[in-house]
């Protein structure tokens, strides 16, 4: 997927992939429509960080969820 262009589809893809990778039980609370393209580059960086790791500690998951909260509208 080409993430170089900010689009709603790319935001949705990254959010869904982050939720899958983190195996988030409360993933329904984090939805793509809560994010806009204004902070797209920051979301791409977070996505790339999550995609590049195989496992996460509880504190890492907490930090990622906090960052997602910060990036919300």
CB 37 within 8 A of CB 7: yes
* Contact between 30 and 24 (Cβ < 8 Å): yes
Residue with tokens 């994010």: 35
Q: Structure tokens of 30?
A: 């984090």
Query: Which pTM does this prediction carry?
Result: 0.83
Q: Which residues of the chain have pLDDT under 50?
A: none
* SS3 assignment, position 62: helix
Examine residue 46 and state whether it is found in any structural domain, yes or no: yes
Q: Which domain holds residue 62?
A: 8-71
2 is a domain residue: no
**Number of compact structural domains in the chain:** 1
The per-residue pLDDT for 28 is: 65
Q: Dihedral of the CA atoms 58, 60, 63, 68 (nearest 10)? A: -100
Tell me whether residue 1 is in a domain.
Answer: no
Residue 3 lies in a domain: no
Contact 52, 30 (CB under 8 A): no
């Amino acid at each position: 997927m080409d993430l170089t262009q900010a689009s709603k589809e790319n935001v949705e893809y990254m959010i869904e992939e982050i939720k899958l990778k983190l195996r988030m039980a409360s993933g329904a609370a984090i939805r793509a429509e809560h994010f806009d393209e204004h902070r797209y580059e920051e979301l791409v960086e977070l996505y790339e960080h999550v995609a590049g790791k195989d496992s996460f500690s509880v504190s890492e998951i907490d930090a990622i969820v906090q960052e997602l909260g910060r990036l919300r509208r």
